[in-house]
Structure formats: structure tokens, C-alpha cells
Structure 1
Amino acid sequence: MAFRLKLVPDNTKIDFFKNQALTFGFAILSMVASVIIVAIMGLNFGIDFRGGTTIRAETTTEIDLGEYRSALEALDLGDVVITEVYDPSFRADQHVAQIRIQAQDDSESVTPEMIAQVEAELEKVDPAVNFTSVESVGPKVSGELIQSAVLSVLAAAAGIGIYIWMRFEWQFSLGTVLASLHDVIVTVGLFSLFQIKFDLTTVAALLTIMGYSVNDTVVVFDRLRENLQKYKTTPLRDLMNLSLNETLGRTVMVVATMLLSLIALLIFGGDVLRGFVAAITFGVVLGTYSSIYMAKNFVLWLGVNREPKEKKKAGTTFADIDA
């Protein structure tokens, strides 16, 4: 007989509304606390948002990024990101690295003297290295990137709201958007609290979090819509509990699988990936919590139109659109 791993027993009957004032209140309180923390402590912006200088280095020998980082640590330059560039058009003996250094003391860019020191240290590691370009990103461009990051998150939230409204009803749309914004805001608050570096990869992680949160919430709402058609007289609260219990096994299995890979990346992924993976890890946990304890409460508070199917389908006129 085949072995099947079950993290959740069949036919669970958990009352997810038992302590709804506490669970839903904690979600709202965490959003407010996150906004306050960001306002007081600020974010530990990376080079993308703070401004700085990018040096392009080329060499004919294999690049050891660890040696490059070690060589620059003594200069105390603050946030330094070193990445190797790959391009199919490169020669076999052409190896390229980008060294990104944060602006020093709120200046427009790294001083020529500091750039000379960086180049000298790297030449000690690799005498064959050549520096082909030096580019600076000032505070004005960094400010525009911050605005673009905020707009991208808001645009994603608006798009999610429109999709869920078309797929279900406007009440589901508002609940999903609120849950997604909860995940993003609290994640940003955690980044501020622990002063984890916040850069463009973190913004990409926040958008990924929104997608995961929506996917998790839609699974529950889709089952709820099926149950609304199946049990026409059952109270909405009981149907929500039933839907959550029916999808609980899937939710726990997905979260456990994702956390296994994310924790491995947190431990072994290195500094370059740590901020991105940390954001995704926070988001997976928060997204699961908001899908179970936040989105449904908001929908229950707003209510759902439960007219008979011949008068109005459970959902909107767009309810039969394939996901």
C-alpha cells in the first residue's frame, strides 16, 4: 500500500472564528504597528534607493567574488554589492564583474580617491583586472525609484482587486486586497524592525508575496463559492469554516514545502539572496495567516449576496471566467 504523508487529518472541524476578535484584531494591529515602526526607524535602503557608484571590472581570469568582497571589507565602504555578469557574446576568457558601492556621507557619488582605492585593492587580488566604466546614481534617481516601487505595489493591488471582483464579488475583492496589503505592510515593518537591507530585489519579493497571498486566498474563496451553491441555507459563517477546513490540508502542505526551500536558501544562499529570501519567507507565513484569519472576516462583515441561482449566480456575471 502506498504511503501518503498527511500533515492535516481528514475532515477537520476547526472553528476559525472562535477567537476572531483576537486574530483579526492582531492582523490590524500588526499593520498599524508596522507603519509606526517604519515612520520611526525608517528602512535600511540599499544602493538602489540610496544612490552610489557602479564600477565595471573585466579580467581574463576566473572571478572569485569572495576574494573581491574580502579585499574591499577593509575600506569600510558600507553597502557593497559585487555580482558577476554573464553574456553569450563574451569571449571565453572574458569575465566581467560589477561592484556597486553606496554613496558615502550622503554625497552624490563615491569620490575619485575612494574609487582609486577600490581599484588598487582589486588589482592586488587580480593583477589582470581592468576597469572599463564608472557610473553614479544620485539621490534624485533613487527617489524616483522609491516612487516607482510604491506605485508598482499599489498598481498590483488594484489589478488584484479588479481580477477578484470579476472572478467573485466585490466583497471578496476588498477582502483579498486588504489581506494582500496586510502581508506587504507587515513585511516592510519587519524589514524596518530588523534593519534588513531594502532594495529593488525586495520590491520584487513584495510583488511575489502579493501573488502568493492572492493564490492562497482564491483557493479558499473558490471552495466557498462552490459551497454557497451547494448549501443554500447554511449560515455564511459555517460555510466559511467548512471551506477553510476543506482546504486546510492543501494550505499546510504548500506552506511547509515552501518553507523548507526558503529556509535552505536563508542558510546557504549568502548575502546576495538573503534580503529577497527573507521577504518571501515573511510573506509566506503572513499570507497564510491573512488568508485564514483576515480575508474571510472582512467578507463576513460585508456579507454576500445569496439570491437563488436563477436570479443571480453565486458570484458576478464574470464568475464563469476560467482562472
Structure 2
Amino acid sequence: MSNTGRKPFDFMGWRKLAFALSAVLIVMSVVSLAVRGLNFGLDFTGGTSVELAYQEAPSLDAIRDDLSAAGYEQFVVQNFGADTEILIRMAESGNPEMANEVAAVLGAGGDTLELVSSEFVGSQVGKELKEDSGLGLLIALAVVLIYVGMRFQLKFGIASVIPLAHDVIIILGVFALFQWTFDLTVLAALLAVIGYSLNDTIVVMDRIRENFRRMREGDSNHVINASINQTLSRTINTSGTTLVVLLALYFLGGEAINNFAIALIIGVVVGTYSSIYVSANLLIVLGVSREDLLLPVKEGAGDGEEEEQPPEWLNRM
């Protein structure tokens, strides 16, 4: 990608301010998680699921209103397969007649419906799910550290994993602050954010590595700044198009996936920021230099051997 006609933006000139911003966001997120905690959904706390079949497609909002009017507080209503099939997940209860009571409440308005099935999931299953979810996130971060450390260099691996943890903690902190429901869809969004942010970071890291080998003048700040500017258009285009899709998903996708879309929107914004500032900041803090990235001299190679050139795809960015 060429920067002809455009003065490069001094990203690294703002790195101290960005570091302070990240520190404030992380502290606020940790405090929110410690004080308010996550509002775990029925996937994690356990509850009763009720599957109903209607003769005609019902209004999900009308079902929610009927359940609220009947005194039920924690529940999730969504389509299950066809438009006439509804899945309702209720907060944990030891009442074996809850499914029949729910069917009676919803049938009182004159709708013809049939109770297809009901299932109770205890809190122990939800507790195991929470533990497994946390372990899965830690394993994902560890695998990323190993991969990037082998693919690039250990300092690059550390500078790639910490921004991922940074993104996840901020998303969790926002959900704790506003007490938005944290369920399996949000967990899936967190894993998607890790993949998205990692992909963005790897593109920047790859250009930094190549420029350290190609550029013979300038310190680490100069090389990293030039690399970020060279990949900036790609970063903006990718983030922009992704956000358009996610905003459409949030406004048009329905209540069942609202939190999923919100988590991804926050993740894309924070992930784009972290791939530019957090990862680059960490490289400078870790003292990355040309010596860390020098290619090993091939045995028998002479002094006149040509310098390795970057791949063709990188020159077209």
C-alpha cells in the first residue's frame, strides 16, 4: 500500500496517552467485574426450557408481555426451528408443573398451542459450563502465544496475546457495568473477537517484521509507525465493513442475539484500537529491535548475497 500524497500519522507520538487510556479501561473493567459481577444467563445458572408449537406463527414480543404480566421475571423467548415453534427458557425452579403453567398462561389469550417438551437443567451444569468456558478462553490465549512466538518471535507473541486479553477484559467489564446478560452467545462472541483481533494484529506484526529487515534507518518507533501507516487502509476497511454488518445484526436481528451483536461491536472497536496501539506499545516496551529479527546467515553465503525481499502480496498492500 502506498502512502503517496498523504503525510503519515504519528501513531507512536500518542502511545503514552493510549497506554493511560488502556490502563484506565482495564482498571474500570476489573472493578466492575469485582463489584457488580457478570449477569449470567440461563445457560450458566440453570433453569427450565419449554418448547411450544403454535398453529400460527406468534409474536415473540406478545409472548414476552404475557409472561411478564404473569409474574415471570427471568426468561428468554426465541424461535426454535420453524416460525410456529417457540423455545422459552425460564430461570431455575424446582416446580415440576412450570411447563404446564407457562402453556396455560400463553394459551389463555386464545392461541392454539401444544406443549412439545420441557427440560430442567440444574445449576451444577451451569457451574461446570462457566468453568469450562473460562478454561477454553485461557487455552485459546496460550495457543496464540505459542503460535505467534514460533511464527515470529517471543516478544511478538507476548505483544499479540496481551492485547487479546485486554480486549476480552474490557468487553467483560462493559457487560458487568451495564449488567447485560452474559450467555453462550456472548461467549461465542468473545471467541470470535479473539480471532478477529488476532488476525488484525498479525497483519500489523508481519509488516513490522518485514520493515525491520528492509528499513536501514530510523529507530523502533519510526519503523513501527511506518508499518502501522502502511496497513492502515486495510485495517479501516476491514473494521468498517464488519461494523456495518454487526450494526445491521443488532438493529434487525431481534432480541435473542442483541447481546451477541453488542459484544462483537465492542470487540471490533477495541480490537482495532489494540492492534494499533496496545501491541505496538508492548513491542517498544519489550525492546524489540532489528537484531531480534535478523535472518540467520546461510552457511556458505557470501557478503554479496542479496537481501531477502518481502513477499509480493505484502508489497501490494
TM class by shorter chain equals 0.7 to 0.9
The normalised TM-score by structure 1 is: 0.84
- CA deviations on 1:172-191 (whole Å, 9 max, x unpaired) are 11011000000000000000
Give yes or no for the alignment of 1:143 onto 2:138: no
- Structure 1: segments with no counterpart, 5+ residues: 1-7, 88-93, 104-108, 313-318
- CA deviations on 1:287-321 (whole Å, 9 max, x unpaired) are 01111111111111212352443439xxxxxx99x
Q: Secondary structure at the match of 1:73?
A: helix
Residue among 59, 78, 86 paired with 1:97: 86
Note the C-alpha offset of 1:81: 1.5
Please say if residues 157 and 177 of structure 1, whose CA atoms lie closer than 8 Å, have aligned partners that are also in contact: yes
Please say if residues 75 and 89 of structure 2, whose CA atoms lie closer than 8 Å, have aligned partners that are also in contact: yes
Q: Secondary structure at the match of 1:19?
A: helix
Task: Find the aligned partners of 1:128 and 1:289 in 2 and give their Cα distance.
Answer: 52
User: Matches of residues 34-183 of structure 1 in structure 2 within 5 Å?
Assistant: 34-86=29-81, 95-103=84-92, 109-112=93-96, 114-125=98-109, 127-183=111-167
Aligned-residue CA RMSD (Å): 2.5
User: Equivalent residue for 1:268?
Assistant: 252
Which stretch shifts more, 145-154 or 262-271?
262-271
For residue 220 of structure 1, what is the amino acid of its counterpart? V
Q: Secondary structure at the match of 2:117?
A: strand
User: Equivalent residue for 1:33?
Assistant: 28
Residue among 290, 297, 312 paired with 1:311: 297
Summarize the Cα distance change of 1:175–1:81 in structure 2 as closer, same or farther, 3 Å threshold. Answer: same
Note the C-alpha offset of 1:264: 2.5
Q: Secondary structure at the match of 2:16?
A: helix
Please say if residues 70 and 105 of structure 2, whose CA atoms lie closer than 8 Å, have aligned partners that are also in contact: no
Note the C-alpha offset of 1:143: 0.8
Q: Secondary structure at the match of 1:96?
A: strand
Summarize the Cα distance change of 1:34–1:242 in structure 2 as closer, same or farther, 3 Å threshold. Answer: same
User: Equivalent residue for 1:282?
Assistant: 266
Summarize the Cα distance change of 1:48–1:14 in structure 2 as closer, same or farther, 3 Å threshold. Answer: same
For residue 86 of structure 2, what is the amino acid of its counterpart? A
User: Equivalent residue for 1:228?
Assistant: 212
Summarize the Cα distance change of 1:217–1:41 in structure 2 as closer, same or farther, 3 Å threshold. Answer: same
Please say if residues 51 and 85 of structure 2, whose CA atoms lie closer than 8 Å, have aligned partners that are also in contact: yes
Task: Find the aligned partners of 1:10 and 1:97 in 2 and give their Cα distance.
Answer: 57
For residue 296 of structure 1, what is the amino acid of its counterpart? A
For residue 167 of structure 1, what is the amino acid of its counterpart? R
- CA deviations on 1:177-215 (whole Å, 9 max, x unpaired) are 000000000000000111111101100000111111111
For residue 99 of structure 1, what is the amino acid of its counterpart? I
Q: Secondary structure at the match of 1:71?
A: helix
Q: Percent identity?
A: 38
- CA deviations on 1:146-192 (whole Å, 9 max, x unpaired) are 11111111111111112211221111110110000000000000001
For residue 39 of structure 2, what is the amino acid of its counterpart? N
User: Equivalent residue for 1:201?
Assistant: 185
Note the C-alpha offset of 1:236: 1.4
Give yes or no for the alignment of 1:20 onto 2:15: yes
Note the C-alpha offset of 1:132: 2.9
- Structure 2: segments with no counterpart, 5+ residues: 299-309
Aligned residue pair count: 297
Q: Secondary structure at the match of 2:52?
A: strand
Task: Find the aligned partners of 2:141 and 2:192 in 1 and give their Cα distance.
Answer: 12
Summarize the Cα distance change of 1:127–1:269 in structure 2 as closer, same or farther, 3 Å threshold. Answer: closer
- CA deviations on 1:266-298 (whole Å, 9 max, x unpaired) are 223221111000000100110011111111111
User: Equivalent residue for 1:294?
Assistant: 278
Which stretch shifts more, 121-130 or 136-145?
121-130
Please say if residues 212 and 289 of structure 2, whose CA atoms lie closer than 8 Å, have aligned partners that are also in contact: no
Task: Find the aligned partners of 1:159 and 1:126 in 2 and give their Cα distance.
Answer: 55
User: Equivalent residue for 2:301?
Assistant: none
The normalised TM-score by structure 2 is: 0.86
Which stretch shifts more, 256-265 or 119-128?
119-128
User: Equivalent residue for 1:253?
Assistant: 237
Q: Secondary structure at the match of 1:17?
A: helix
User: Equivalent residue for 2:302?
Assistant: none
